[in-house]
Structure 1
Amino acid sequence: MMAHRAIHCSLLTLLLLQILKIHAKVPAIIVFGDSSVDAGNNNQINTILKSNFEPYGRDFIGGQPTGRFSNGRIPTDFISEAFGIKATIPAYLDPTYDNKDFATGVCFASAGTGYDNATSDVLELDYYKEYQKELRDYLGNDEANEVLSEALYLISLGTNDFLENYYVIPGRSSQYSIEDYQNFLSGIAGNFITELFQLGARKISIGGLPPMGCLPLERTERILSGNDCIEEYNDVAKNFNEKLQGLVTKLKMGLGLQLVLSNVYDILSEIIQNPISFGKVIFLFCVPSTFANCVTRHGFDEAATACCGTGLFEMGYLCNDINPFTCSDASRYVFWDSFHPTEKTNGIVADHSCLDMHLNNFFLYLLSANIEAPHTIPCYKIVD
């Protein structure tokens, strides 16, 4: 197996170098969501949706499976590292971590969840309230409240509501048209963000839906007709993202918080449509000339199928170490299993999520105090 090492150079850090006279800080990253950002909470939950076994995690730090649904790190890990906080965000339910670890970032995400409780009845906000109490006991009220208000909150939800609920289970599809269901979910998302605000959150990035119809598992459904993306699902994702953008605009004005929609749809579509050419050397936002090649990336070879197993349908327990078809080099693939991206893709998605925040003036409030000089910034590239 070809060994690869991911060295991350987030566009975030390069962009931040150009913002002058700003001295805000992000003491912690707090994560809510589904399997796209689950750092291992499902290891401790009675569910079949797990990934704490090989070959998951084979390219993770230490080469061990953690419960992340990827061969390595997930987007929230990269964002945390870009802020100079830590290289990975621990799962709240992982017994190997304690309040000292959680004080600088914690993940409440759980694979299989969605906005709709009919998708999965896992109440991440309940864990967050418990965490708040524990953090105040550990740090004291004043310091804990400062961490909670200055933290960056990341939300990644919604895909399961459509692909594992509306289009699969008759309940919601018999109650709602697809348009009405999107409005229903948007309302839940608004309530979720509002409750986070009432609990002290002031800086929130909410992730939009990816091109759901281009996930290998969904493409496999149409394999007899050419294995193309399911445009119906992609259209739903784009429409729902527009509703989320409207929600973001409304809540920013109504609540007065820093809120941005992270557009993962466009960057993933670009990668999927142009896997080979995507990621060539770009000379963007590099302040010193020595950073001329700092965003060099190698392109991908395969976007329609995943690395694990046949790449058509395997995920979770079907993606296991006895499957003889798993690829040897995950960096060539956009997707790790039939539903989740590789570490390499996750790093790129994280870059662009950070770029979305910057372009929405989000980082006027989020400049990390510990980014001092260009030479401290590592670069993302694939090293044999």
Structure 2
Amino acid sequence: MAYTYISWLLLGQFLTLVTTSASKIPAIIVFGDSSVDAGNNNQISTILKSNFQPYGRDFLGGRPTGRFSNGRIPPDFISEAFGLKPAVPAYLDPAYGIADFAVGVSFASAGTGYDNATSNVLSVIPLWKEVEYYKDYQNKLRAYLGYQNANRIIREALYLISIGTNDFLENYYTLPNRRSQYNVDQYQQFLVGIAENFIKELYSLGARKISLGGLIPMGCLPLERTSNFFTGNGGGCKESYNMVAMNFNGKLSGLVKKLNYELRGVKVVFSNPYPIVKQIIRRPSLYGFEEVAVACCSSGLFEFGYTCNQYNPLTCADANKYVFWDSFHPTEKTSQIVTDHLLKRALHVFF
């Protein structure tokens, strides 16, 4: 099994080396939630932040940036694979300017969702506001590079969208309002409708290369395993939530086919992390992991954000042995493995 793991990693590294030299992507532009937030939440009034240790302890320079990870997150690895910078900055981070954002920028906000009601739960940036920031970015880019060069970047950039988990775990299954309006299938359709309108708006603003991300097996997050344990159902994955994730991914895949048929000149791909994350959870040792049920930070059962902090003595010494960093988010190592998988299975069409 060790040989298989090493061979798999070498294949991913080889793919990265081969493809970066022929990259056709001038910039990475990111929308979504904590899976891709590079630190925008640092600059807004919300309790959902991660700009403190031990977050970022394995990041470039060992500093907490607001990424919900011990290190880098998928847009960072994708940017590097396309021959761009090794980290995609947050748009609201005052340490960066339009010269940095011209080759990569994240508008994502931890805790947000497709549904505006989801962003209201923890007072984070709603998806419509991410689009408003993107419009502002376009104006700054044109002022910086001129219309022709800016429009080329807007047209040729790769747009990454990773969002949706919070709509279910933070909103639908936690608060009563949406459950009183929709059954879970209807709510999925409601979210897919928002996703469709969102992508069409990006298209109207010039986007032509788009990756729509799916959900991971959200019933296997340490937080959900802990919930399952305390409700008397054992400490295994909450399979009903995993089924919802799979069904929602199926609907998103159908949306991608519809958009590619309807929108002239667009290329939308469905980047589905579910199979590879499920494989990692089922056979962690195949990928070099030792712990999958609990996270590295603190007790690993329910902590994330401010409850995952430097003062807790239980945080693990080596995050590379863990699939999850906190109870809601993967470690840097997991993100890299998942990203390498998506580069080969979905994003390779943009090389």
Task: Give the TM-score of the pair, scaled to structure 1.
Answer: 0.84
SS of the counterpart of 1:235?
Answer: helix
1:200 is matched with 206
**Helix, strand or coil at the partner of 2:30:** strand
Pairing of 1:243-258 with structure 2 (within 5 A): 243-256=251-264, 257-258=266-267
Give, as a single letter, the amino acid of the residue that structure 2 aligns with 1:92. Answer: Y
Cα distance in 1 for residues equivalent to 2:22 and 2:12? 19
CA offset digits 1:40-68 (Å, max 9, x no partner): 00000100000000000000010010000
**Rounded Cα–Cα distance in structure 2 between residues aligned with 1:137 and 1:264:** 37
1:266 aligns with 2:275: yes
The answer for the alignment partner of 1:78 in structure 2 is: 77
Distance change in 2, residues 1:332/1:16 (3 Å): closer
- Measured against aligned partners, the alpha-carbon deviations of 1:309-358 in whole angstroms (never above 9, x if no partner) come to 00000000000001111000000000000000000001011111112225
- Equivalent residue number for residue 240 of structure 1: 248
**Structure 2: gaps (5+ residues):** 1-8, 121-125
Aligned partners of 1:66 and 1:154: how far apart in 2?
20
Preserved CA contact (<8 Å) 1:34 1:156: yes
- CA drift at 1:225: 2.8
Q: Structure 2 vs 1, CA of residues 55 and 263 (structure 1 numbering), >3 Å: closer, same or farther?
A: same
Give the match's secondary structure for 1:300: coil
Offset of residue 13 of structure 1: 5.9
- Is the Cα–Cα contact under 8 Å of residues 28 and 160 in structure 2 kept in the other structure? yes
Q: Is the 1:13–1:82 contact (alpha carbons within 8 Å) kept by the matching residues of 2?
A: no
Match of 1:173 among 172, 179, 194: 179
Q: Give a deviation string over 1:86-142, Cα, whole Å, max 9, x none.
A: 100000000000010000000000000000001005221010000000100000000
1:36 matched to 2:32: no
- Identify unmatched segments of 5+ residues in structure 1: 1-7, 280-298, 368-384
Show the counterpart of 2:123: none
For the residues of structure 2 that align with 1:74 and 1:330, how far apart are their CA atoms? 14
Give yes or no for contact 1:261–1:356 (8 Å, CA) kept in 2.
no
Separation in 2, partners of 1:188, 1:126? 16
| DSSP-derived class of the 1:225 partner | coil
Structure 1 residue corresponding to 2:138, chosen from 132, 141, 144: 132
- Superposed CA RMSD: 1.7
Distance 2:290 2:210 in 1: 34
Distance 1:87 1:245, change over 3 A: same
Cα distance in 2, alignment partners of residues 190 and 222 from structure 1: 33
Residues 35 and 10 (structure 1), Cα distance of their counterparts in 2 relative to 1, 3 Å cut: farther
Distance apart, 1:187 and its partner CA = 0.5
User: What's 2:61 paired with?
Assistant: 62
CA contact (8 A) 1:73 1:88 kept: yes
Contact 1:38–1:67, Cα closer than 8 Å, also in 2: yes
Which of 341, 345, 348 is equivalent to 1:356? Answer: 345
Given candidates 270, 293, 296, the residue that maps to 1:304 is 293
Secondary structure of the residue that 1:53 maps to in structure 2?
Answer: coil
Query: Of the candidates 284, 307, 312, which is equivalent to residue 318 of structure 1?
Result: 307
Calculate the TM-score normalised by the size of structure 2: 0.92
**Deviation (angstroms), 1:229:** 0.2
Q: Does 1:53 align with 2:52?
A: yes
Find 1:144's aligned residue among 150, 172, 188: 150
Report which of the two has the higher share of helix: 2
Q: How many residues align?
A: 333
Taking the aligned partners of 2:73 and 2:106, their CA distance within structure 1 comes to 12
Over residues 152-176 of structure 1, what are the superposed CA-to-partner deviations in whole Å (9 max), with x where a residue is unaligned? 0000000000000000011101000
**Is 1:116 the counterpart of 2:125 in the alignment?**
no
CA shift, 1:24, in A, is 6.3
Provide the secondary structure at the position in 2 that maps to 1:119.
Answer: helix
Give 1:18 deviation, angstroms: 8.1
Contact 2:40–2:91 (Cα < 8 Å) also in 1: yes
Match of 1:212 among 201, 206, 218: 218
Residue 170 (structure 2) aligns with: 164
Aligned partners of 1:15 and 1:100: how far apart in 2?
25
Partner of 2:329: 340
Relative CO higher for 1 or 2, CA cutoff 8 Å, sep ≥ 6?
1
Distance 1:98 1:17 in 2: 30
Shift in alpha-carbon separation, 1:9–1:114, aligned structure 2, 3 A: farther
2:13, 2:132 → 1: CA distance?
A: 31
Q: List per-residue Cα deviations over 1:254-288 (Å, max 9, x = no partner).
A: 003100111100100000111012x3xxxxxxxxx
Q: CA 1:57/1:352 → structure 2, altered by over 3 Å: closer, same or farther?
A: same
Identity of aligned residues (%): 64
